[in-house]
Amino acid sequence: MTLVTALVCAALAGALAPAAIAQQNLPQMGEPADSALSPIEERRLGAEFMRQIRAQLPLVRDTQLDEYIQALGTRLALASGKSDGRGFTFFIIDSPEVNAFAIPGGYVGIYVGLIDVMAREEQLAGVVAHEVAHVTQRHHARAFQTGKNASLGTAAAVLAAIVIGVASPEAGQAALAAGLAASQQRAINFTRSNEIEADRIGIEILANAGFDPSAMAESFGNLRRRNNLNTAGLNLEYLRTHPLDDNRIAEAADRAAALPRQDATDGVDYDLFRARLDVLTTDDQGALERAAKARNARRANPGDTYTLALLALGSNRLDTARQHLDALNDMHEEHPSVALLDVQWLAQSGARSAALERLAELDALYPGRYSIVEQRSELLIEARRLAESRDVLLRYLRDAAPIDPDAWRALANVRQRLGDSAGSHEALARWFEALDELERAESQLQLALRHVPIGSQDELRLQASLNGMRTRITQQQ
C-alpha cells in the first residue's frame, strides 16, 4: 500500500463516521498529475472510498433507477473520448441535499435533491458531465501531489483535511485554518480553479454525447435559483464545493453557443426515471399522489401517470393501477419501464404465468437488461422453478456486457435454495470481487472449497481462483 493510500485509509477510519457521513461532500482536487498518483492507484483509492460509501450512505437501491443513471453516465463517459465507459460507476444517494461529487477511480454520486432541481434530462447530464470531466482530467491527483511533496506530517494533515472535508466542509476548513497553512490552501485553490476546466470539458462532452450543450448553463441557473430560495441562508452543499458566480455561468453559456445546437431528447426516459425515483424516495406518498393527480388533470403526461400507477400498485389498488397503466400504454406502450410495470400488475393480479411469458418476451427484446432478468428470476423462484431461475441468471452473466454485479448475489441465493453450497459461495465471491471487496471474496472462495470433493475438477478450479485472488490482494498491499 502506498503512503498516500495508507494515509487516506487511516483518515477514513475516523472521518467517515456514520453521523458525519450523512452530511458529506466529496471535493474535487487538483489537475492532471500522473506522477502523483497512477491510474491504478487512483482506482484502488476510489475503491477504498466506495466501500465506506456503500457501508455508510443511504444509497438508492433499485435496479431500474441504477440502470438509468449508469446508462446516462456511461454515455457521457464514452463521449469524453478518454474512457470506454466501463471504468465509471454512477450511483444515487437518497438524500434531499442538492449535491453531486466525483471521487478517484471514476465513482460519481448524485443526490436525490440535485436530481429534483433538474427539470430535464440534459440539465442532469450537464452536472454529470462536469463530474465526469473532473475524473477524466484527473483533478484529484494534484491534491495527492501536494501531500507527497511535503513532509510526512504535512502530507498526513493535508489528506486528513481533505477527508474531514468530505464528511463536513466546516470541519475541513477548520482543520486547514488550525495549522496546515500554505500547502493545504493550494489544494483548495486547485479545487476552485479546475471548476472552469471541468465546465469547458463537460460542455464538450455534452455536445459529443448528443445533448444540448447549453444545458450546462441551464443547470447552473437552476442551482442558483434554488439557492436563492433557500431560507436557511446557507449555500447549497453543491455550491460549497463548486463555487458558482455570474462569470462562470456566462462563460458556460458562451462556450455552448459556439457549438452546434442539438435537438432536445423527448424526455420520456427521464420523466419515468424521475417518477420512479419520487415514489421510491418520498416521505409522503399521499402528497405525491395528490400533486400527480392535479397535474395530470390539467394535462396528462407519462411521468405523473407512471407515478399514479406505481403508487396504486404499491397499495394493491389493482383496478386503479390498471386504469393508469392503460393510459400509460396509450402514450408509450413499447417503453421497457412501462412494460415492467405491466408485468408487476399481472403478477399482483395472480396471472403469474402470463407475467413470466411477458418477461421472456422482454428478455429477448432487450437482451442484457438486468431489471428484466431480475424480475424474471424472482418470479420463477416464487413459482418454485429454481433451476429455471438459475439458468436465466447464468445466461445473463454469460452473455451480458457489462453485467450488474447484483446478478451474482441473486445467483448465490438461488444456488443456496437448490442445495448447491459450493456454487453459492463461489457466486458470492464473484459479487464481492465486482465490488472490489477482495478479502471478502477470498473468504467466500475458501468456504466454497469446503463443499467440493478433494481432488475434483471443482477443487482445482476454485483453488486456482483463490490463488489468483490472493495474488491480487498482495498487489494491493
Angle at 117 between CA 131 and CA 336, to 5 degrees: 80
C-alpha cell at 296: 395530470
Pairing of strands 89-93, 107-111: parallel
199 is a catalytic site residue: yes
Q: Is 2 helix (H, G, I), strand (E, B) or coil?
A: coil
C-alpha cell at 198: 471541468
**CA atoms of 74 and 90, how far apart (whole Å):** 8
Q: Is 90 helix (H, G, I), strand (E, B) or coil?
A: strand
C-alpha cell at 454: 478433494
Count H helices, E strands: the chain?
25, 3
Q: Is 456 helix (H, G, I), strand (E, B) or coil?
A: coil
254 is a catalytic site residue: no
How many other β-carbons are positioned within 10 Å of the β-carbon of residue 137? 21
How many other β-carbons are positioned within 10 Å of the β-carbon of residue 95? 21
| 338, 332 contact by CB (below 8 A) | yes
Positive or negative torsion for Cα 365, 370, 373, 378? negative
Q: Find the catalytic residue in 42, 195, 199, 442.
A: 199
Q: Find the catalytic residue in 67, 122, 131, 436.
A: 131
Catalytic positions, written as ranges: 131, 199
